[in-house]
Amino acid sequence: MRIDYSETIKYPPEVIWKALLDPGVMARLIPGIEKFAEIGPDKYEATAKLGLPSVRGVYSGIVEIFDKTEPSSYKLRGEGKGTQGWAKADVLMTLSAVEGGTKVSAQAQAAVGGAIAGVGQRMMEGIAKSMARDFFKALDGELRGSTANS
């Protein structure tokens, strides 16, 4: 399954880059996250509790960041298992300066198995895009709060 999502955020790429690569910030931004702990350079152990229909449960896995080109792109690889199945994803994150801020784009290639796969591709795409919207809304709020405190 392929998922593409982009959002324009009114901060420069360098500010967004720093936030996206800060484990403390990510722990606050990822929907449902209960744990986001660094276990090595650019490698994290994550646990998330999702309360979405048909995929409700706790999921644990590993997230790795690689191929970083500061402040314009990086790749992220994640995989996890939970009570309702498993998921794997490769994501290319790109940050492009645009008038009034930065366009942040995520291009993901994901695979799911178990009960999650029974939800159907359209519903999974909708859930993923909804989570992306929530994530970027939280990122904007985080940046507004951090610049207000500067």
Domain boundaries, the chain: 2-145
C-beta neighbour count of 58 within 10 angstroms: 15
pLDDT digits (tens, 9 = 90+) for 120-146: 767 778 878 888 889 889 999 999 887
C-beta neighbour count of 139 within 10 angstroms: 21
Q: Tell me if the domain spanning 2-145 has CATH number 3.30.530.20.
A: yes
CA of residue 20 relative to chain centroid, distance: 9
When pLDDT is cut at 50, 70 and 90, the band that residue 38 belongs to is very high
Does the structure show a pLDDT above 70 at 51? no
- In this prediction the pTM is 0.85
Pairing of strands 73-82, 101-113: unpaired
